[in-house]
Structure 1
Amino acid sequence: MTTASPSPAAPDPQRGAAVKAADRAHVFHSWSAQELIDPLAVAGAEGSWFWDYDGNRYLDFASQLVNTNIGHQHPKVVAAIQEQAGRLATLAPGFAVDVRSEAARLIAELTPGDLDKVFFTNGGAEAVENAVRMARLHTGRHKVLSAYRSYHGATAAAINLTGDPRRWPSDTGAAGVVHFWGPCAYRSAFHAADEAQECERALAHLADVIAFEGPQTIAAIVLETVVGTAGVLIPPAGYLAGVRELCDRYGIVFVLDEVMAGFGRTGRWFAADHWGVVPDLLTFAKGVNSGYVPLGGVAISEKIAATFATRAYPGGLTYSGHPLACAAAVATITAMREERIVEHAAEIGERVLGPGLREIAERHPCVGEVRGLGVFWALDLVKDKETREPLVPYNAAGADNAPMADFAAACKRRGLWPFVNMNRTHVVPPCTITEAEAKEGLAVLDEALSAADAHCR
């Protein structure tokens, strides 16, 4: 990638103040106490950058919500949306539309195995919601298993599947969801000595959960191929294959959630490609068109598609396969192929981000572990490298979260927009980030981590 660094327009603080005032008067923000937030008024974005009305530029090391895989304002995607809007802006999902069919064909061409049918949704949570519904109808069973370290979305079934604390306020406790511990060698629930032992014990634990819950009651196991928001956790070799074997043994539908990990984020089109595992259902969103127009979906295996060959699938969305969203997907996938963006993500991770982050870890007492693939990395921040005590308590808020807040503020003062969650900072820039931009971001991280070091013992 050789994209030049963009230059924002002339500062316009008065316009920025008006934008923020309108936001504060009328916009109700997600996951927020409304009177305690101060949203940044953004004036524009391009490539790996965005900027405010005061002229401050930020290198987007969060890809917004880990979704602008192709970067901001990619001209080919913008042009495709404009062209589609001028030709056919919208049409109900029951019609055959050229751009919808082409988006489905391209996605099916990329997904592993026989996942050749695509049910379109508006985003990732709805994709998970419908995957669970398909699994329950296909098997005639009701229970669904998912990991504690996970995030699957905020709709009814998806939030119950979620393992992180965002589930708690909406947990019905009666949704048929059972949580289990997935592998995480750095913070092992199984007292494992290494990755191989972590894999073996995690699979034994899952087999026990299946046995005690009753295999005949379990419709699906839902896993993020690489756990995203809950820590960028790379599964140990053999784990996903072991889950696939357990699902096959008991007739359980295996669902891989690739909403965050898919479409180049890990340096492959799908994270499952790293391990050669084929699920029965695969959910996607985010990177499919970098969020330029909301789009998600479920890629469906032949076996599950056959269940609904002559039996109606009882689900649908007004905007399923929206022409503007599908046009953005077609343009995104085409550009990623033509510009070798997935290959670039793999290379920048292997040659720049991975080595750079490991060097940073050696210099900072607050960095306990570095893990990742492609442009999907996390630094696990600790008070003590020996004990691995997290820098802040689990689900910390207020004063308890001060060390992470100090670190995030230090990043932003230096022109870097970080992705921070609990005691971790994730390094998740666009797949198109240049080597120079990646090194610039790493240098800022290096400086900003001194703010976290101050809280170490």
Structure 2
Amino acid sequence: MSDFVGMNGAEERFGDTAAQREVRANDRQYVFHSWSAQDAIDPLPIAKGEGVRFWDYDGNEFLDFSSQLVNLSLGHQHPGMVRAIQDQAGRLATIQPAVANDVRSELAKRIVDVSFDGARSVFFTNGGADANEYAIRMARHHTGRNKVLARYRSYHGSTATAITLTGEPRRWANGTLDVGVVHFMGPYLYRSAFYAETPEQETERALAHLEQTIQLEGANTIAAIILETVTGTNGVLVPPPGYLPGVRALCDKYGIVMICDEVMVGFGRIGEWFAYQAFDVKPDLVTFAKGVNSGYVPLGGVVVSDAIHQTFATTPFPGGLTYSGHPLACASGVATFDIYKDEGILERVRDLGERVVAPRLAELAAKHPSVGEVRGAGMIWSLDLVRDRATREPLVPYNAAGEAAAPMAAVVAACKDAGLWPFAHFNRLQLAPPLIISEEDLERGLAIIDAALDVADSYYAGE
């Protein structure tokens, strides 16, 4: 009996050192990796994935608590997803975007149907970064303005405009590739830039700061405000009550397009089709990717309001992609909708998030002094780790590297040694397992995190 199937379809067994050696050698020789100094990394060869687990060539098993890059919402090798891609490949593997295609139009219809009131159409892209690029282009042409406001502590992708929109260190080395981008501070009560003491104060002061930024930059120069509905990688920052409706009101007041970046938190991550639906707000453009088909085939897109759609009713939209609405990607997107309905994904995310994750993380915060704050919803959460609760000093400095990052590296290593693949960024240990995870596996992963926090506690310097 085989453990996994190799590249050429041959059945193979774990522990094949020759196969592992070849994979590692080819990777090191020929693959150029993102966000990395090439000689400083040694990527782990992975042989197999199934459900919420994956295995290396030695047979070491990892419980996937990061959904890879928070995209694998339906887990590894979901049979419904694999079958949809196989069936589509058998009848029409690819076709250009200028013609009409059944699965492309069906997926667009389903996305519009679960979107905001006034949503009109979907422009398909290859992923999240180009979805944000095209949303900004639409907003600029729609308004005739050039500037775009984006928050610090954000990530919007690594293409030219998207990386300029990004409000964290990955932007720095790339310079200012889009001179029309202006950054502002968003709400983050635990480390408030506005000296707020309550969520209500944080909302009021963050909105006042945003309005002042709009006025100082010139409202008639600003095309759009883009924000992650729930900030993902940079801390799982859930907006305080009233903040997103307040942003909407400012956009209406000054004629600015509101763009919700739902690349990470859309398609069920917090228990709604789109995260903005939990905050009583209606955007003008919504970007998505990741969960739309769990990354089985690259796919992203922009949900377009009727008003913006009409801007291009008789004027051509200046943009396009060879693989926009690729049939294989769209077929797996349609299957995603069917699977979510058949398996009650949205309902189970809300249930497990409220009944299991939230109370268990509260217990961990009470037990471990290194946990400064717990934030999140559904199946995306963050543990803000600190050296001192009183001062809120982070466990590691902002953008720490080398020896300064050692405490977080030790926490991550403890998770991996125990068979959990975590999602970590700066001083935060974050949770984003596949949405199909069982309660038993969820509890198992949380237990591993509990033990790993003992490592974080060993660096604690407070009272």
User: Fold-level match, TM-score > 0.5?
Assistant: yes
**Is 1:217 the equivalent of 2:242?**
no
**Is 1:421 the equivalent of 2:425?**
yes
Q: Which whole-Å deviations, capped at 9, do the CAs of 1:63-116 have from their partners, x for residues lacking one?
A: 000000111111001000001011101111000000111110111111122222
Q: Report the number of matched residues.
A: 451
Shift of 1:354: 1.0
Shift of 1:365: 1.3
Identity level (%): 61
Partner residue of 1:139 out of 138, 143, 149: 143
Shift of 1:173: 6.5
Partners of 2:254 and 2:211 lie apart in 1 by: 10
Shift of 1:275: 1.1
Is contact 1:109-1:116 (8 Å) kept?
A: no
Q: What residue is the counterpart of 1:85 in the other structure?
A: 89
Q: What residue is the counterpart of 2:9 in the other structure?
A: none
Partners of 2:110 and 2:81 lie apart in 1 by: 15
Partner residue of 1:306 out of 310, 326, 330: 310
Partner residue of 1:23 out of 22, 27, 30: 27
**Is 1:373 the equivalent of 2:377?**
yes
Given residue 316 of structure 2, which amino acid in structure 1 is its aligned partner?
Answer: A
Partners of 1:137 and 1:85 lie apart in 2 by: 36
SS where residue 89 of structure 2 aligns? helix
Q: What residue is the counterpart of 1:204 in the other structure?
A: 208
Q: What residue is the counterpart of 1:3 in the other structure?
A: none
Q: What residue is the counterpart of 1:60 in the other structure?
A: 64
Q: Which whole-Å deviations, capped at 9, do the CAs of 1:36-79 have from their partners, x for residues lacking one?
A: 11111101111111111101000000000000011111100100
SS where residue 231 of structure 1 aligns? coil
Shift of 1:10: 3.6
Partner residue of 1:178 out of 162, 177, 182: 182
Q: What residue is the counterpart of 1:4 in the other structure?
A: none
**Is 1:51 the equivalent of 2:45?**
no
Partner residue of 1:245 out of 227, 232, 249: 249
Partners of 1:380 and 1:282 lie apart in 2 by: 28
**Is 1:342 the equivalent of 2:346?**
yes
**Is 1:128 the equivalent of 2:132?**
yes
Partners of 2:378 and 2:175 lie apart in 1 by: 34
RMSD of aligned residue pairs (Cα, Å): 1.0
Q: What residue is the counterpart of 1:192 in the other structure?
A: 196
Partners of 2:398 and 2:427 lie apart in 1 by: 8
Is contact 1:159-1:171 (8 Å) kept?
A: no
Partners of 1:36 and 1:398 lie apart in 2 by: 11
Q: Which runs of 5+ in 1 are unaligned?
A: 1-6
1:215-294 to structure 2, matched below 5 A, reads: 215-294=219-298
Partners of 1:368 and 1:438 lie apart in 2 by: 22
**Is 1:434 the equivalent of 2:441?**
no
Partner residue of 1:74 out of 73, 78, 83: 78
Partner residue of 1:333 out of 331, 334, 337: 337
Partners of 2:406 and 2:313 lie apart in 1 by: 55
**Is 1:150 the equivalent of 2:151?**
no
Partners of 1:203 and 1:248 lie apart in 2 by: 14
Partners of 1:175 and 1:334 lie apart in 2 by: 42
Q: Which whole-Å deviations, capped at 9, do the CAs of 1:270-303 have from their partners, x for residues lacking one?
A: 1011012110000000000000000000000000
Is contact 2:120-2:309 (8 Å) kept?
A: no
TM-score, scaled relative to structure 1: 0.97
Shift of 1:171: 2.1
Partners of 1:56 and 1:110 lie apart in 2 by: 40
Is contact 2:423-2:432 (8 Å) kept?
A: yes
Shift of 1:174: 5.3
Partners of 2:327 and 2:178 lie apart in 1 by: 37
Which one is further off, 11-20 or 81-90? 11-20
Shift of 1:334: 1.1
Given residue 306 of structure 1, which amino acid in structure 2 is its aligned partner?
Answer: Q
Partners of 2:211 and 2:251 lie apart in 1 by: 10
Is contact 2:120-2:306 (8 Å) kept?
A: yes
Partners of 1:332 and 1:278 lie apart in 2 by: 24
Given residue 250 of structure 2, which amino acid in structure 1 is its aligned partner?
Answer: L
Is contact 2:160-2:178 (8 Å) kept?
A: no
Partners of 1:364 and 1:113 lie apart in 2 by: 44
SS where residue 116 of structure 1 aligns? strand
Partners of 2:258 and 2:175 lie apart in 1 by: 23
Shift of 1:308: 0.1
SS where residue 382 of structure 1 aligns? strand
**Is 1:106 the equivalent of 2:110?**
yes
Partners of 2:350 and 2:44 lie apart in 1 by: 31
Given residue 13 of structure 1, which amino acid in structure 2 is its aligned partner?
Answer: T
SS where residue 387 of structure 2 aligns? coil
TM-score, scaled relative to structure 2: 0.96
